[in-house]
Structure 1
Amino acid sequence: MNNQNTLTLVNPTNGNLAFKILFFESNAFFDHIQRNNYYSLIWIKEGSGILKSDFSEYKFSTNHLLSFSPYQPFMLIPNGSISGVALQFHPDFFCIHKHQTEVACNGVLFNNIYQPPFVLLDTKSTNTLQLIIEQICFEMQNPALAQTELLVSYLKIFLITASRLKTEQHKQAKEDTTNTKEPFILQSLKDAIEAYYREKHAVNEYAEMLNITPKSLAKITKTHLNKNLTTLISERIIIEAKRELYLTNKPIKQIAYELGYQDEYYFSRFFKTNTEISPQVYRNTVGFDRQAKVSIN
């Protein structure tokens, strides 16, 4: 444990963060680009401002819950004072990929290239999450038998609650735009990227598939997703690359080939350009062949 504003569990084998809850009353923790090797959930309880994440900017305000994957770059630029609470956990403590059937947050809260990396909390979810935060704090200040298992259970409830809410809000937003042409094109684009991201990496290939000019498609993605098409394609490839590096022991050369890159070194440069670390460093610090695993009793 650190102090009254930060409660931390560490990996006893290497001293690195396993799970942390942080209460903040300023932007001092997030006023520079973050690229953490753990998941972050940041609940803005008071304040508003601009969120810079990946290649986009978004507005955030009170009761927004922000969510970021390992090594996803982000920074907060508040309009004034800001306060809230953050939950941070390493994949060794809780792997969202391995527990996807239990919490279903992968592709919703995390690793979602089509939606902003946050959800607006309503009254019901706010009350639920506040109770969970209080339970987590109590458990971390009064550790007992099976502490890790209980903390993981609280974390699961937190993730499920937020994922359900974001899914509901996305469905409503989709219904609100059902009768317009552009969202239809976007859905076709999403389907195309999911089907062909391993073999088609060029913007013009997707524009041709959708019978639309690259310029028009770029305008639609920028307007509705706040990202350009090149970024969407790259992010989808990176998500899959990270999954393979994290969950498997496949050689990097094989992962590159399966993602449509004949040259392993070109793929490594592409990965580093988008994440600022190499595939091998990502695997060593987050992924499959980490020598030290969390073991907290």
Structure 2
Amino acid sequence: MTAGKALTMVNPKNGNLAFKIFSFNDASNFDHIQRNNYYSMILVLSGKGKIKADFSMYDFDGSSLMSFAPYQPFMISSDSAFHGIVINFHPDFFCIHQHHKEVACHGVLFNNIYQPPFITLQPKDVDALCLLVEQMRTEMQNAGLAQYELLISYLKIFLINASRFRVDQTPAIQLDIAGAKEPFVLQSLKDAIEDNFKTKHSAGEYADMLNISAKALAKITRSHFNKTLTNMIAERIIIEAKRELYLTSKPVKAIAYELGFNDEFYFSRFFKNNADVSPQLYRETVGFARAEA
């Protein structure tokens, strides 16, 4: 894989980034907190280091694929040789929500509070993704008829492959959990969060629901998900809030109420504290009523 120059497409309507591919040879692009209003796929070809994402820290070593959603805070540090390729795309260019039936990457590659934001890749997986990157690069350098449609097709295939790689690794993740003493509690906790995050916002409520002490549940959560239960609940609420802000034109007050907040201003502070941007700015820079357009 040759280094190649950065290739960028800009949205002619607003001048914002639509689609970009570039290579890196060190961690200087990622050594500070990123809060981008577009998706970032980082294909690591070699190197090791640490990823700080949301509320957690993870180690990576070797070929891997990192996936970050708009405004998801992340930072990567590496003291060794570190190189790879980045694909950035704005939801205006490709909306994963609208293409969910074709490309089921929402909750698999992006916005999954139960798994790390990266997967380890086998050599054949790297080859498959690098081939797609080269096809995208060629198309961007030699624009022809239906360039947008062809790039979207390549990106879809890239995301489908990446989602398959993630799903293929899921049994190994489940096996780790199955070998633990608390597999039932972990699954029950996942189900409880999914069923109740709109109405129950405190860690204590989930401990009561599962008939386990708050201290024991906190220990299990930290051990298996690498984050606190409070952070997991907050992340799940924010993912749903972002989806509503992106896909609908509902007033922020209505979204707040649906998510269990009686005070719109408290919800806005909660959203900004966890997403590093206000609900209104998120809507303006990432999307607005796409599903209703």
Q: How far apart, CA to CA, are the structure 1 residues paired with 2:283 and 2:70?
A: 12
Return the letter of the residue paired with 1:80.
S
In the other structure, the counterpart of 1:199 is: 199
Q: How far apart, CA to CA, are the structure 1 residues paired with 2:263 and 2:96?
A: 30
Say whether residues 1:129 and 2:92 are aligned partners: no
In the other structure, the counterpart of 1:110 is: 110
In the other structure, the counterpart of 2:71 is: 71
Paired residue secondary structure (1:49) = strand
Return the letter of the residue paired with 1:187.
Q
Return the letter of the residue paired with 1:222.
R
Q: How far apart, CA to CA, are the structure 1 residues paired with 2:176 and 2:28?
A: 38
Paired residue secondary structure (2:127) = helix
Whether the aligned pair in 1 keeps the contact of 2:26 and 2:81 (CA below 8 Å) is yes
Which stretch has the larger CA shift, 171-180 or 114-123? Answer: 171-180
In the other structure, the counterpart of 2:81 is: 81
Post-superposition shift, 1:115?
A: 0.1
Return the letter of the residue paired with 1:31.
D
In the other structure, the counterpart of 1:21 is: 21
In the other structure, the counterpart of 2:237 is: 237
What are the Cα deviations for residues 65-99 of structure 1, in whole angstroms up to 9, with x where unaligned?
Answer: 00000000000010222110000000000001111
Post-superposition shift, 1:287?
A: 1.6
Return the letter of the residue paired with 1:151.
L
In the other structure, the counterpart of 1:41 is: 41
Post-superposition shift, 1:179?
A: 4.6
**Aligned residue runs from structure 1 range 1-297, under 5 A:** 4-288=4-288
What are the Cα deviations for residues 212-242 of structure 1, in whole angstroms up to 9, with x where unaligned?
Answer: 1111111111111100000000000000000
Paired residue secondary structure (1:102) = coil
Whether the aligned pair in 1 keeps the contact of 2:21 and 2:87 (CA below 8 Å) is yes
Paired residue secondary structure (1:103) = coil
TM-score by length of 2: 0.96
Q: How far apart, CA to CA, are the structure 2 residues paired with 1:174 and 1:289?
A: 36
Q: 1:216 to 1:42 in 2, by over 3 A?
A: same
Return the letter of the residue paired with 2:271.
F
Whether the aligned pair in 2 keeps the contact of 1:22 and 1:86 (CA below 8 Å) is yes
Return the letter of the residue paired with 1:60.
F
Q: How far apart, CA to CA, are the structure 1 residues paired with 2:121 and 2:166?
A: 9
Whether the aligned pair in 1 keeps the contact of 2:221 and 2:227 (CA below 8 Å) is yes
Post-superposition shift, 1:5?
A: 2.1
Paired residue secondary structure (1:241) = helix
Post-superposition shift, 1:200?
A: 0.2
Post-superposition shift, 1:60?
A: 1.1
Q: How far apart, CA to CA, are the structure 1 residues paired with 2:223 and 2:178?
A: 16
Unaligned runs of 5+ in 1: none
TM-score by length of 1: 0.95
Q: How far apart, CA to CA, are the structure 1 residues paired with 2:156 and 2:197?
A: 30
Q: How far apart, CA to CA, are the structure 1 residues paired with 2:213 and 2:229?
A: 12
Post-superposition shift, 1:4?
A: 4.1
Whether the aligned pair in 2 keeps the contact of 1:207 and 1:213 (CA below 8 Å) is yes
Whether the aligned pair in 2 keeps the contact of 1:44 and 1:61 (CA below 8 Å) is no
Count, aligned residues: 289
Paired residue secondary structure (1:104) = coil
Q: How far apart, CA to CA, are the structure 1 residues paired with 2:106 and 2:159?
A: 10
Return the letter of the residue paired with 2:70.
P
Whether the aligned pair in 1 keeps the contact of 2:25 and 2:82 (CA below 8 Å) is yes
Unaligned runs of 5+ in 2: none
Q: How far apart, CA to CA, are the structure 1 residues paired with 2:31 and 2:170?
A: 29
Q: How far apart, CA to CA, are the structure 2 residues paired with 1:79 and 1:183?
A: 36
Deviation >3 Å, runs of 4+: none
